[in-house]
């Protein structure tokens, strides 16, 4: 599937695919609740809905690796990582997704290297 094909998905099919992704990575259910997912699906015709695209490819190896890595990084950072990143993780455009992905990766990488990382509280 390509990002251009997301807008052609029915709302039901998109919801089913997102559910599959969230079932594979249950920690993401704390970020992407039903109301948020339904709103994201309503906006599926947006040409820059990269987040929905990443959520509707549960069987794609690249999508599986992306979400598995994100979950691993959240676990590396600890319990307050979701609170810190939740709002950022709800941004849907490509640049926004790449921005929070980089921020999450870098913080987890530093912590994995033994550096003390203190996440800023969500504002």
Residue 120 lies in a domain: no
pLDDT of residue 123: 66
What is the distance between the alpha carbons of residues 65 and 119, in angstroms, rounded to a whole number?
A: 24
pLDDT of residue 1: 84
pLDDT of residue 4: 84
Count of domains for the chain:
1
Contacts of 19 (CB under 8 A, 6+ apart): none
Residue 28 lies in a domain: yes
Task: Report yes or no: 17 and 56 within 8 Å, Cβ to Cβ.
Answer: yes
What is the distance between the alpha carbons of residues 7 and 77, in angstroms, rounded to a whole number?
A: 34
User: Would the pLDDT of 39 be above 70?
Assistant: yes
pLDDT digit string, tens, across residues 53-105: 999 999 999 999 999 999 999 999 997 899 999 999 999 889 999 999 999 99
Residue 117 lies in a domain: no
Mean pLDDT of all residues in the chain? 92
C-alpha atoms less than 13 angstroms from C-alpha of 45 in its C-beta half-sphere: 2
Range of the domain at 25: 3-112
Residue 46 lies in a domain: yes
What φ, ψ does residue 82 adopt, rounded to 5°? Answer: -65, -40
- This prediction's pTM: 0.89
Residue 83 lies in a domain: yes
Residue 38 lies in a domain: yes
Torsion 62-64-113-86 (CA) sign: positive
Residue 18 lies in a domain: yes
Residue 17 lies in a domain: yes
């Amino acid at each position: 599937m390509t990002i251009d094909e997301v807008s052609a998905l029915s709302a039901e099919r998109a919801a089913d695919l997102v559910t599959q992704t969230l079932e594979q990575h249950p920690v993401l259910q704390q970020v992407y609740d039903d109301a948020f997912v339904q709103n994201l699906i309503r906006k599926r015709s947006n040409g820059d809905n990269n987040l929905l695209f990443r959520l509707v490819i549960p069987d794609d190896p690249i999508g599986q690796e992306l979400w598995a890595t994100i979950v691993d990084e959240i676990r590396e950072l600890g319990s307050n990582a979701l609170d810190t990143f939740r709002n950022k993780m709800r941004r849907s455009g490509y640049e926004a997704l790449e921005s929070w992905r980089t921020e999450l990766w870098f913080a987890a990488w530093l912590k994995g290297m033994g550096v003390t990382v203190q996440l800023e509280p969500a504002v």
